[in-house]
Amino acid sequence: MRTRIFAVGIGLICVVSVFSVASFALPNEIAYTISAQLDTAKNIITATETVRFTNRTGTTLTELYFHVVPNAFKRGADTKYQQELQRAGIPPALIYASPNDDAFMEIKSVTANGQALAFSIDDTLMRVALQEPLADGQTLKLQIEFLNDLLEASPQAQWAATFAVRSGFRNGTYTVTLWYPKVVVYDADEGWNLDKYSLLGEFYGDFADYDVTLTVPANFTIGCTGTILSESVEGTQKIVKIQAERVHDFAWVAGPFYRVEETELPHNIRLRVLSLGLSMTATAADAMNFFNERFGPYVYPVVTVAQVTVGGGMEYPGIVMIAGGSTAEIVHELAHQWWYAAVGNDEMDEAWLDEAFATFSEELYDIERLNAPSSARSSYRFREPGIPVLTRADQFPSLRSYAQAVYTKGSGVLWMLRWVIGPEQFDRLLREYYARFVYKNATTQDFIAVAEEVSSQDLDWFFDIWLRTTKTVDFSLPVGTWRQLEDGQFETRLTILRQGEALAPVKVVLYLRDGSIVETRWDGQQTTAELTFKSASAPVQAEIDPDHDVLEEHRANNILSFPASLLSEPLTLEEFF
């Protein structure tokens, strides 16, 4: 998601069918079959879902859990999400376009082998009690009947970041996300990840394969996760068959007003752009080509860029939702097809693994493709947010602090790592990390392990300081001397200081009278050091970290000038005090 500080015709019907085959789930194998009908007069989805679940947890299960996200928006409900809205000073009623509207998911029944199973719902989580224990390796097939009342969103919900409204309809266009009961991830660290829908933070899902059949009004255009295999019109309805493999969610958009542009990209990738007026194809194609070159080939056959009226500035596997259409928004969301869609992660516990990576990728595109200056980086004028990057998303006190820590500082950590291990090694690192964890959910520790392997360096100190603490660093140049040697060369000595508990290597540059420079790298492990430079010309100025590679907030003391009137004479330490 990029952060910033369905009505089509009365009485029309949309039918959805989804089938998922077990594949790279972590650790469970899960298959979904969903048949859903969208009533555009009432704006509700009624559906049946079959879930084929193979237990790979290594333990016997007596219950299953599902996300039922639409319940977060039920009017008057005391959900975690609505509590957080209120604490942020946002009345929950603001998310609705109409005072009479509502949004929720009603579970009508859950059965297995024709027998009803007991279930209970707490906020946006549903617990299903199994009739018999499910041993490791055993498979169970469940049937769920549900109703999803879609939200008619207020104009402010065009951007997902405003209210965290990601699904609904407005002005005849539907954004359909987080819309079906989805199995909660069970992992080795936490067991069931029972995270309720939150104002801050996003998702965590198992990879699966989907076969989807959407029946929509005949004048609708569909954009979705996966590949559209066929379309046919029968009377007033259009039947669209879709396939998506190895994805951890399924999202779609629909409406009668879309203009479609399709472009073939290298690596047999088809780009579909669904626009309501924005021009997005050229930017999207260039961003996809850039990321293919830098990180490795996009792993899905189709990528869809869709302009939306609800929940824009958001990413889902194979599809991104665009609100404003700026280059930054399009590039950022497409970067998520590498960092979130192909390489998954727990976005509640470790949001930086997708948001910081997407921000870094967006900035890399700006600098290398659009020739933006290095100051275009969001972390260039760094300010410590005062809360660690690796803080659970729902523990941040505000959207602002979340953005400052996860997006800005998180991307800055990646830029700094690039400086620490070198650009070539860093490029290798991202390509190797991507190749190794495609179709998997990665962790911060996974990334650290690959970084250490590629760079042949111990980097625990680096990540511990810059991700897990709010320690700061302040470099300074309090004094410098120079003298001309007998051979005509000039010798300059600088005293460099490091204050603060954070550590980082740093570049020190000496600018010379003839316009040339000499530079060195200080490891920054000690609190002070004396650096010696030899040059063919007298010094004019010395500067620490001119490229802002290090996340340093106070930079006024990073420059030491040698007065022009003194350039012909050696300087002593005493003259600087």
Q: What is the pLDDT of residues 312-329, one digit of tens each?
A: 999 999 999 999 999 999
Average pLDDT of span 103-124: 97
Range with the poorest average pLDDT among 24-28, 201-205, 277-281, 486-490: 24-28
Helix (H) or strand (E) holding 409: none
Q: Is the pLDDT of residue 124 over 80?
A: yes
With CA atoms as reference, report the closest residue to 360 among 426, 314, 454.
Answer: 426
Vertex 250 angle, CA 58 and 313, to 5°: 120
Could you give the count of Cα atoms lying within 13 Å of 522 in the half-sphere of its Cβ?
27
The answer, yes or no, to whether residue 92 has pLDDT greater than 80, is: yes
| Distance separating alpha carbons of residues 33 and 206, to the nearest angstrom | 15
Residue 564: pLDDT band (50, 70, 90) is low
- The confidence score (pLDDT) of residue 13 equals 39
Alpha carbons 350 and 389: distance in angstroms, whole number: 8
Exposure letters 394-428 (e unless 16+ CB within 10 A, then b) = bebeebebbbbbbbbbbbbbbbbbbbbbeeebbee
Asked if residue 572 has pLDDT above 50, the reply is: no
The model's confidence at residue 22, banded by pLDDT at 50, 70 and 90, is very low
Please tell me the distance from the alpha carbon of residue 377 to that of residue 397, in angstroms, as a whole number: 24
Q: d(Cα 51, Cα 43) in Å, to the nearest integer?
A: 25
Distance CA(49)–CA(17), nearest Å, equals 9
Q: Which two tokens stand for residue 439?
A: 């179709």
- Assess contact for 200 and 401: CB atoms under 8 A: no
Terminal Cα distance for the chain, rounded: 51
Percent of the chain with pLDDT over 70: 93
Which burial class, exposed, middle or buried, applies to 568 when counting CB atoms under 10 A from its CB (0-12, 13-18, 19+)? Answer: exposed
Mean pLDDT of the chain: 92
Tokens of 146: 């549900």
Left, alpha or beta for 101 (phi > 0: left; psi -120 to 50: alpha)? Answer: beta
The answer, yes or no, to whether residue 411 has pLDDT greater than 90, is yes
Report the pLDDT averaged over residues 29-56.
89
Please list, in sequence order, all residues whose beta carbon lies within 8 angstroms of the beta carbon of residue 513, skipping any fewer than 6 positions away.
537, 538, 539, 540, 567
> Is the pLDDT assigned to residue 494 strictly greater than 80?
yes
User: Given pLDDT bands bounded at 50, 70 and 90, which one contains residue 2?
Assistant: low
Instruction: Name which of 19-33, 82-96, 202-216, 429-443 the model is least confident about.
Output: 19-33
Whole-number pLDDT of residue 333:
98
Q: Evaluate if residue 14 carries a pLDDT over 50.
A: no
Q: Which residue has the higher pLDDT, 341 or 190?
A: 341
User: What does the alpha-carbon distance between residue 394 and residue 81 come to, in Å, rounded to a whole number?
Assistant: 10
The reported pLDDT for the residue numbered 533 is 97
Residue percentage of the chain with pLDDT more than 90:
84
Q: Which residues 6+ apart lie within 8 Å of 415 measured at CB?
A: 360, 363, 377, 379, 549
Q: What is the pTM of this model?
A: 0.93
pLDDT of residue 567: 47
Task: Centre a 10 Å sphere on the Cβ of residue 359 and count the other Cβ atoms it contains.
Answer: 29
Q: How far apart (Å, rounded) are the C-alpha atoms in residues 341 and 361?
A: 14
Give the model's pLDDT for residue 3.
55
Helix (H) / strand (E) containing 528: strand 528-535
pLDDT at 39: 87
Residue 15 has pLDDT above 60, yes or no: no
Q: Given this model, what pLDDT does residue 479 score?
A: 95
What are the tens digits of pLDDT across the range 225-241?
999 999 999 999 889 88
Average pLDDT in the 117-135 region?
97
Question: Could you tell me which of 97, 98, 105 has the C-alpha nearest to residue 77?
Answer: 105
Strands (E), 193-347: 208-217, 221-224, 227-234, 237-247, 252-255, 259-265, 269-275, 302-307, 314-316, 319-322, 343-344
pLDDT in tens, 272-315: 999 999 999 999 999 999 999 999 999 999 999 999 999 999 99
Closest CA to 107 of 146, 149, 138: 146
Q: How confident is the model at residue 7 (pLDDT cuts 50, 70, 90)?
A: very low
**pLDDT, mean of residues 407-426:** 98
DSSP run (H or E) holding 334: helix 327-335
